[in-house]
Amino acid sequence: MASEHFALVRRLEYAGPASKEPLSFRHYNPAKLIDGRTMRDHLRFAACYWHTMRNGLADPFGAPTAQMPWDDGSNSLDNAKRRADAFFEFLVKCQIDRWCFHDRDLAPEGSTIRESERNLDALVTHAMALQQSTGVTLLWGTANLFSHPRYMHGAATGPGLDSFLHAAAQVRKALEVTTTLGGTGYVFWGGREGYTTLLNTDLKREREQLARFLHLAAEHAKSIGFAGRLFIEPKPHEPTTHQYDSDAESTLNFLREFGLLGTFQLNIETNHATLAGHSMAHELAVASAANALGSVDANMGTPGLGWDTDRFPTDVYLTTEIMLAILAQGGLTHGGLNFDAKRRRESFEAVDLFHAHAAGMDAFALGLEAATRIRADGRLNDFVRERYASWSTDLGARILAGKVSLSECASEAERRGEVGLHSGRQEMLEAIVNDLILRQ
């Protein structure tokens, strides 16, 4: 790291809840022990290269606004390396231990596959050195199979063979460099793996193509000794009209249909959950129930605005729900909380990168503490356990084990007569959650 790119910012430190210093953590106290693990370990934060370093904050109606003095706007390898230097300086100063990237964020695409691979190799060597000198590690890598015009009709799901073949070349290389960098995960987000109109689309065939592609990628990952996990990131649409892995349930069904369950886990993103018409808590519960909650893209949308606005996750109710789901399954082993989030177009100064990530980190620290209080308090768990208590009886267990017929159930219903009714107490439970979020 030759020169400092964020010379005016010192490393953000935990300053406590009373602090009014914006460039500090009021709640994220990395070393604090919670149930025997540090906050740092529980939260496994990562920052993403695409929004942090490559997003100029343009929107469909306006030009980029972000100030990035380290970036000369060129496609040179020197510029790409300088960007990586700035990124790792940012990570260290923000106390973020992990990162995520797409092949094309990190290194410029060349005019041939060979040249693109050479460019990527140069940046991977550079990033390796940065990882070693900073202690930052790679959470996951991925390939950008959606920006280049060759993928306009889809990558693996494109109608022509060429896009499939080119995507194979890109994914092979991205898997290899992710392995070199020691990534604990590799993500497939099928940005164009869907359709714009069914009038020109063979949906059945496209789903089969996607499944074959994922099989090939998984086989290659195994053959090169990739020690991480493979994740699929569901999203219902945008940029396509419909994306085949549209939400957690449809993705799990896809994986089951094509014999891929167990090979892939899910990377669940808040804004994708809400675009799909679900809550984040719902998507996490579905993934976790299938033992497939692998990682989280930690952002949030803007209610009522139908875009993937990728805001920083500053809503403490949301972060509490996310941490409840993660704690309930004993944590994330290979995944983490990746801020797949961008600053608003109006937050264009470089220092806003720090404000934005710190806001997300503090919100997750609050969410972790609140979720821990909710679990320790026990009233929610007790209520749920009590609600299903009749299933813990001998009859309940025998029904679930398949030892009781429908007619036997019917006779038992007659014998018992009309049942007592019990309230769901939703409002009471919501009030308990509020109390426990606010009581620090």
Interface residues with Ni ion (CB under 5 A)? Answer: 269, 297, 308, 340
For ligand XLS, give the closer residue by CB, 60 or 420. 60
Please count the residues of this chain forming the interface with ligand XLS, following the rule CB under 6 A. Answer: 10
d(CA 242, CA 148): 19
* Interface residue with ligand XLS, options 70, 189, 213, 354 (CB under 6 A): 189
- Taking CB under 6 A as the rule, does residue 297 contact ligand XLS? yes
Q: Token pair for residue 433?
A: 């959650």
How many angstroms separate the Cα of 220 from the Cα of each of 165, 202, 214, 267, 426? 14, 27, 10, 20, 48
**Alpha helix stretches (DSSP H) within 201-257:** 203-223, 248-257
For ligand XLS, give the closer residue by CB, 150 or 379. 150
- Taking CB under 6 A as the rule, does residue 369 contact ligand XLS? no
Catalytic site residues?
Answer: 102, 105
Residue among 92, 99, 311, 17 nearest 28 (CA): 17
Which residue sits closest to ligand XLS, CB atoms considered? 189
Min. distance of Cβ 331 from ligand XLS in angstroms? Answer: 21
SS3 318: helix
Q: Token pair for residue 54?
A: 């490559």
Sign of CA dihedral 383, 385, 391, 392: negative
CB 321 within 8 Å of CB 281: yes
- Taking CB under 6 A as the rule, does residue 245 contact ligand XLS? no
Min. distance of Cβ 369 from Ni ion in angstroms? Answer: 26
- Taking CB under 6 A as the rule, does residue 233 contact ligand XLS? yes
For ligand XLS, give the closer residue by CB, 275 or 433. 275
CB 6 within 8 Å of CB 93: yes
- Taking CB under 6 A as the rule, does residue 243 contact ligand XLS? no
d(CA 398, CA 194): 44
CB 302 within 8 Å of CB 311: yes
138-167: contacts with ligand XLS (CB under 6 A):
142
45-104: contacts with ligand XLS (CB under 6 A):
102
d(CA 86, CA 84): 5
Could you identify the residue written with the tokens 């740092």?
A: 40
Q: Which does 126 bind (CB under 5 to 8 A by kind): ligand XLS, Ni ion, none?
A: none
- Taking CB under 6 A as the rule, does residue 176 contact ligand XLS? no
Q: Which does 142 bind (CB under 5 to 8 A by kind): ligand XLS, Ni ion, none?
A: ligand XLS
Q: Which does 362 bind (CB under 5 to 8 A by kind): ligand XLS, Ni ion, none?
A: none
For ligand XLS, give the closer residue by CB, 187 or 368. 187
* Interacting residue ranges for ligand XLS, rule: CB under 6 A: 102, 142, 187, 189, 233, 235, 269, 297, 308, 340
